[in-house]
Amino acid sequence: MKLTDLTDPAADALREARALAAGHSAATVRLGVTGLSRAGKTVFITSLVRNLTGDGRLPFFAPHAQGRIRRVYLEPQPDDALPRFTYEDHLALLAADPPVWPEGTRRISQLRLTFEYTSESALRRAFGDGRLHLDIVDYPGEWLIDLALLDQDFATWSRQALADAAVAARYPHARALLAFTGALDPHAALDEAVAQQGARLFRTYLAAARAAEPHLSTLGPGRFLMPGDLDGSPLLTFFPLPPISGLAISGLAPSGLAPSETAARGSLGHALTRRYDSYVAHVVKPFFRDHFARLDRQIVLVDALSALNRGPQALDDLATAMTGVLKAFRPGTNSWLSRLFRRRVDRILFAATKADHLHHSSHSALEALVGALTETARTRAEFAGAVVKPLALAAIRATREGEVKSGRELVPCIIGTPLAGERVAGVTFDGKTETALFPGDLPADPQVLFSGPATTAAGAADVRTVRFRAPRLVLETSGGGRPAPAHIRLDRALDFLIGDKLA
Ligand code: GDP
């Protein structure tokens, strides 16, 4: 039997059995890295790989601190069909003069790291040194929202999508979509120009709603927000039609759904139903089946500080958005998906990124905030079974700490070079000047940060953060050293995610 004849989980098992038989025993851990756009996925993976393969300082990554990791290196990834995470390009940008942050995640990609290590266990050591493959899978969190589509036919999805647009009708783009679709006759002959225009209006509305209110990031379909390789593809030329009879087409609805009525072949309703079904069959299902269902561990990155900058409502919005994203981790959300979960994600790290934007005296409050966000999302999404840990981290530390004198007091501050165009208190930065900033304090009780009865003027966070220029990375020192970016708690993240696999 060829590997290509098998489902992916079966192929994984066979691959490992063959490796064992050939004496190349190496366990594999598939680590998913996700989060909404700009959460910090690309920076996280780039720094993690460099810290592991270069001279990273990782005192809280136990196998590293105990001196049991002998070598970590990149290897060709096992999945030929996936793009490789362009680690070297990202690293080169960080090493440029001036350094530049790499471009963020726009599609799924993968990278394989191999660890050679000495086991803690005498029994395992007796079988020789250990090897572990870590397959890092980077994907947009926006894609997880499409899980809901697996249970919906086109008519059901259309109803929901247009109801969402009606709620957002204060935005002109939502009104434009509603006016356009309201004037259409689904039984009219398909006019491709109309399909294209509808899809364009739909996409523009989604993007505008999302930019205005982050919780609307959970309005899908996910590929309309983050098209990845499907940008411009005919698979994305559909949009919701009003709920009038005759939209479902016999034989084309997703399995398990009884198509109620038929729309004539060649009509607009028929064409859009077909395209929606193709999207579910050829985009959504393959992602969940071939990638998501094969993950062992997951880190979900959250840019809680940007939300804090915008106030209590934005934090509520973020909690709502994270609930939408985390529903995918709830066992039994979807029966098709639960059948696929041979191995289930058993650890999820929920990490607030960019902790270097705050003084360390606020880090535990940031961790409490992400813990509260996790709690909200966990209660709402009701996922169980996985160990979930909150953490505040900075994959790349772009600031250092100091103190400035304010009257008689010494106030803790952070020092860095704000990016050109960033503003604080009416000052616009030029991107070149190092500046000491007081980002403010986070309250110890995160609940006061969310909107609602507990919020008080005194409790609302008085935090202002700006984006900083990346520190310049030296690729190789004259002595042959390979410096790695300074970080905050990247080692603790690693320890939680894979420490036990290297025991
Ligand atoms: P992605 O869209 O999730 O891949 O997000 P990126 O990894 O591209 O990060 C988005 C932006 O956040 C970057 O361009 C940086 O400006 C900022 N950023 C991400 N991680 C860090 C960090 O650890 N420290 C600091 N100071 N900024 C970060």
Looking at residue 383, what is its pLDDT? 57
**At CB < 8 A and 24+ separation, what contacts does 308-313 make?**
308/369, 308/442, 308/449, 308/461, 308/463, 308/465, 309/463, 309/464, 309/465, 311/460, 312/449, 312/450, 312/451, 312/452, 312/455, 312/460, 313/451
Is the pLDDT at 258 greater than 50? The verdict is no
| 164 CB near ligand 1 (under 6 Å) | no
pLDDT interval class at 72 (50, 70, 90): very high
**CB-neighbour burial class of residue 359 (10 A; exposed 0-12, middle 13-18, buried 19+):** buried
Name the region of 172 (left: φ>0; alpha: ψ -120 to 50; beta: rest).
alpha
Res 251: pLDDT:
40
Residue 459: pLDDT band (50, 70, 90) is: very low
Give the whole-angstrom CA distance, residue 359 versus residue 413.
6
Instruction: From the CA of 467, give the closest atom in ligand 1.
Output: 16
Average pLDDT over residues 104-117: 96
Residue 72, H or E segment: strand 69-75
159 C-beta closer than 6 A to ligand 1: no
Question: pLDDT digit string (tens) for 260-315?
Answer: 445 788 899 999 999 999 999 999 999 998 999 889 999 999 999 888 887 777 78
3-state secondary structure at position 208: helix
- Of the pLDDT bands very low, low, confident and very high (cuts 50, 70, 90), residue 81 is confident
How far is the centre of ligand 1, averaged over its atoms, from the C-alpha of 124 (Å)? 39
- Determine whether the shortest distance from the Cβ of 400 to ligand 1 is under 6 A: no
Which atom of ligand 1 lies closest to the CA of 39?
3
- Residue 150 confidence (pLDDT): 86
Distance from Cα 145 to the centre of ligand 1, integer Å:
22
Beta bridge partners of 113: 74, 134
Ligand 1 pocket test, candidate residues 108, 354, 401, most atoms within 8 A of CB: 354
pLDDT at 248 (0 to 100)? 46
Distance 486 CA to ligand 1 centre (A): 14
Alpha-carbon gap, residue 319 to 369, rounded angstroms: 11
Q: Report whether pLDDT(17) > 60.
A: no
User: Which of the pair, 389 or 64, is modelled with greater confidence?
Assistant: 64
Q: Please indicate whether residue 467, judged by its CB atom, sits closer than 6 Å to ligand 1.
A: yes
d(CA 276, CA 278): 5
Distance separating alpha carbons of residues 95 and 87, to the nearest angstrom? 12
Ligand 1 atom at minimum distance from 419 CA: 16
Q: Give the whole-angstrom CA distance, residue 369 versus residue 358.
A: 13
CA 57 and chain centroid, separation: 25
Grade residue 327 by pLDDT with cuts at 50, 70 and 90.
confident
User: Is the Cβ atom of 497 under 6 angstroms away from ligand 1?
Assistant: no
Determine the residue type at 111.
Answer: L
Percent of the chain surpassing pLDDT 90:
53
Whole-number Cα distances in Å, 488 to 244, 370, 392, 435, 471: 55, 16, 8, 20, 14
> How far is Cα 194 from Cα 190, in angstroms, rounded to an integer?
8
Task: Check if 12 has its Cβ closer than 6 Å to any atom of ligand 1.
Answer: no
Q: How far from each other are the two terminal CA atoms of the chain, in whole angstroms? A: 34
Q: Is 104 in the pocket of ligand 1 (CB under 6 A)?
A: yes
C-alpha 297/C-alpha 130 separation (Å) is: 20
Q: State the Cα–Cα distance between residues 169 and 175, nearest whole angstrom.
A: 5
Q: Is the CB of 324 under 6 A from ligand 1?
A: no
As a whole number, mean pLDDT of residues 133-144 equals 94
Average pLDDT score, the chain = 84
Report the pLDDT value the prediction gives residue 424, as an integer from 0 to 100. Answer: 85
Model confidence pLDDT, tens digit, residues 411-432: 889 999 999 999 888 889 999 9
User: Measured between alpha carbons, how far is 288 from 143 in angstroms, rounded to an integer?
Assistant: 9
Please report the pLDDT score of residue 215 as a whole number: 59
Distance CA 116, CA 103 (A): 31
Asked if the model's pLDDT at residue 257 lies above 50, the reply is no
Res 93 pLDDT > 70:
yes
Closest CA to 52 of 125, 120, 117, 128: 117
Please indicate whether residue 224 or residue 322 has the higher confidence score (pLDDT).
224
pLDDT digits (tens, 9 = 90+) for 146-172: 888 888 899 999 998 999 899 888 889
Any ligand 1 atom below 6 A from CB of 47 = no
Instruction: Give CA–CA dist 133/26, Å, rounded.
Output: 7
| Atom 15 in ligand 1: residue holding the nearest Cα | 101
- Residues 50/91, Cβ–Cβ less than 8 Å: yes
For the Cβ of 105 lying below 6 angstroms from any atom of ligand 1, the answer is yes
By DSSP bridging, strand 109-117 and strand 130-138 are antiparallel
**The two structure tokens encoding residue 232:** 């411009």
Give the residue, out of 101, 103, 299, with the most ligand 1 atoms within 8 A of its beta carbon, to mutate for a pocket test: 101
Of the given ranges (212-216, 223-227, 290-294), which has the lowest mean pLDDT?
212-216
Residue nearest (by alpha carbon) to ligand 1 atom 13: 101
3-state secondary structure 126-188: HCCCEEEEEEEEECCHHHHHHHHHHHCCHHHHHHHHHHHHHHCCCCHHHHHHHHHHHCCCCCC
What is the CA(102)–ligand 1 centre distance, in A?
A: 8
Ligand 1 site, residue 354, Cβ cutoff 6 A: yes
Listed as own residue / partner, the contacts of 224-228 with beta carbons closer than 8 Å and 24 or more positions apart are 225/37, 225/140, 225/142, 226/37, 226/106, 226/107, 226/140, 226/142, 226/143, 227/106, 228/106, 228/107, 228/108, 228/140, 228/143
**CB distance 101 to ligand 1 below 6 Å:** yes
Query: Minimal CA–CA distance to 145: which of 239, 204, 212, 221?
Result: 221
Cα 350 to the center of its chain, rounded Å: 11
Q: Which of 33, 41, 43 to mutate to test the pocket of ligand 1 (most atoms within 8 A of CB)?
A: 43
Tens of pLDDT, residues 335-390: 666 666 655 788 889 999 999 999 998 999 999 998 888 776 666 555 556 788 89
Q: Which of 66-70, 335-339, 483-487 has the lowest mean pLDDT?
A: 335-339
Distance from the CA of 42 to the center of ligand 1, in angstroms?
Answer: 7
Contact between residue 363 and residue 488 where contact means Cβ atoms under 8 Å apart? yes
pLDDT, position 449: 80
